[in-house]
Structure 1
């Protein structure tokens, strides 16, 4: 009974062969969306850090409480470093999309470009990508905790800084990774005949299918 049920489910799932042109358009859409996302991400976080820098710079000299002035001076350094990072380290999607539009309509070239951008997306979410913010927030927290004798405030500063850094990291575009990961390797054998390719599940509001690429 279970075998018949599984067979029925499998037979009711349409096998859709995805042409190179469809795949090419899917990759183009991923890069276009990634480019828009990257530009919004860049403007948004640059504005956040620029605003934070301005507020901290004002509080560093104008705040009535000495502790607030000390924390603001630490905040100036953190915000300046974060703002510099935003201005110097750009997302790869806009440049990749420009390269896409200026190049030839070649599916192999498209795959290589998407894979390169996807690799950059993964690197930007790796443990190594978190080391810089970990170092900055650790030094800032210790400066307040040890340098100014306020352990609790130092811990809060560290935790808040790491939370903001993680939000920045997780909000980065990941369209290229999603496009690449749609397809998984597949191998089918019929006696002495072996076929290798890739498949991806297609799920819609009223349909379930599988796209084959070989």
Structure 2
């Protein structure tokens, strides 16, 4: 996705202060990329474990539950859990790979490359929290709820749908967002427009709803 015109214009005229390459700034980048990768690994293993456990439980209940409705719902749960588990295994977080690339850029002292990498990672975080991340869950939970409702239990179908969507929201909002948070912080800078120079602070704003920049002085 392209940055909007305001962001492009701001990046063209902002000059970062000379202290940009201090050890403190590198320490800040270390924190962002390392914590992001650690969070991503914990998130990946945690949700994989949750869906794996859910799959095993539903598989057991699908044949061993004493109530016919419970067995039916468990079979639906097997399909949902299997799809969710497959999604976790096939769609990994970008942060571990970003950390490896960051370490390569840091070893070469390429600060501009690190800044670009941070922007790319923040944009990936934004996309993973956007509406596109909810489409597949909406379809799966919608079909599952409809199947249960077609079994003559409309209220159970609605509960199944709502519960599935809630779990998906938790999965989305527990994802790492260290890059987005770091980019959204204000940084000191000078804005030069011809003969006029303004001292102030800027921040790149990244969220599921917007991608832009703001300036204050």
Which interval holds the TM-score relative to the shorter structure? 0.7 to 0.9
Q: Provide the TM-score with structure 1 as the length reference.
A: 0.79
Q: 3-state SS of the aligned residue for 1:173?
A: coil
Pair 1:19-2:23 in alignment: no
Q: 1:106/1:198 Cα in 2 relative to 1: closer, same or farther (>3 Å)?
A: farther
- Please say if residues 46 and 86 of structure 1, whose CA atoms lie closer than 8 Å, have aligned partners that are also in contact: yes
Q: Which residue of 2 aligns with 1:96?
A: 98
Equivalent position to 1:169, from 168, 172, 182: 172
- Distance, in Å, in 2 between the alignment partners of 1:37 and 1:191 is 44
**Of the two, which has the highest radius of gyration?**
1
Unaligned runs of 5+ in 1: 1-15, 201-214
Q: Which residue of 2 aligns with 1:67?
A: 69
Unaligned runs of 5+ in 2: 1-16, 204-217
- Distance, in Å, in 2 between the alignment partners of 1:40 and 1:105 is 29
Cα RMSD of the aligned pairs, angstroms, is: 2.4
Q: Which residue of 2 aligns with 1:108?
A: 112
Pair 1:154-2:171 in alignment: no
Q: Which residue of 1 aligns with 2:31?
A: 29
Q: 1:95/1:190 Cα in 2 relative to 1: closer, same or farther (>3 Å)?
A: closer
What is the number of residues matched between the two proteins?
A: 185
Question: What is the CA-CA distance between 1:131 and the residue it aligns to?
Answer: 0.7
Q: Which residue of 2 aligns with 1:211?
A: none
How is 1:1-214 mapped onto 2 (pairs within 5 angstroms)? 18-21=19-22, 22-103=24-105, 104-146=108-150, 148-183=151-186, 192-195=195-198, 198-199=201-202
